[in-house]
Amino acid sequence: MQKRLFRSRQNSMIAGVCGGLADYFAIDPTLVRIGMVALIFFDGLGIVAYIVMALIVPEEWMKAASPAEIVEENIRDLAHTAQTIGERAEAVTANQQQFARVLGGAIVLLGVFLLLRNLNLMQWVDRRWMWPGVIIIGGLAMVLNGMRRR
């Protein structure tokens, strides 16, 4: 029985190309992934090679399909993978934007406090209770924000 190249389902990060190559050559998939990333720096050859292999190489379960069916199924699979990656990236971006707004607001508030303190306008603030108060207010803001989203 001859050995055939398939895209891996068990060892897949995007489309299973590197995992399939690793299975075919019986090497560690991390080495294949590093090699593919290295090929990206050679005029994008790694990207082109990955896309071509993702379109042409069948998945493990497609053992008896025609080449046209393989390409068609691979296109559907890649479209689904791209949509999933896009949805994950959108969620990460939304979380990063919210974090950036909160961090920016905290930095502005800290700057205003330090400015007022340097102008001797906040002599009444005792440093022993200021930071616990800031932590409590920050925690309450996070809890209220979480309740508002539900």
Span 85-108, pLDDT tens digits: 888 888 777 777 777 777 787 788
Instruction: With residue 115 as reference, give the H or E element that holds it.
Output: helix 67-118
Average pLDDT score over residue span 72-91: 79
Q: Is residue 41 domain-resident?
A: yes
58 burial level (CB within 10 Å; 0-12, 13-18, 19+): buried
| 80 plus 103 within the same structural domain | no
Helix axis angle, 67-118 to 45-56, nearest 10°: 130
Res. 135 pLDDT band, cuts 50 70 90: confident
Domain boundary among 63, 87, 111: 87
Average pLDDT score over residue span 66-93: 78
Q: Is residue 55 domain-resident?
A: yes
| 80 plus 21 within the same structural domain | yes
pTM of the model: 0.47
pLDDT score of 59: 77
| 64 plus 102 within the same structural domain | no
Q: Total domain count for the chain?
A: 2
The lowest-confidence range among 36-40, 50-54, 84-88, 130-134 is 130-134
| 67 plus 105 within the same structural domain | no
Q: Using a CB cutoff of 8 Å and minimum separation of 24, what contacts does 62-70 make?
A: 62/6
* Domain of 60, in residue numbers: 17-87
Query: Which residue in 54, 47, 48, 49 sits closest to 12, CA to CA?
Result: 54
| 23 plus 83 within the same structural domain | yes
- Angle formed at CA 52 by CA 51 and CA 57, multiple of 5 degrees: 105
- Give CA–CA dist 82/130, Å, rounded: 48
Give residue for tokens 């559907």.
76
| 74 plus 42 within the same structural domain | yes
Q: Using a CB cutoff of 8 Å and minimum separation of 24, what contacts does 16-23 make?
A: 16/59, 17/50, 17/53, 17/54, 17/57, 18/50, 20/57, 20/60, 21/53
Res. 149 pLDDT band, cuts 50 70 90: low
- pLDDT higher for 17 or 128? 17
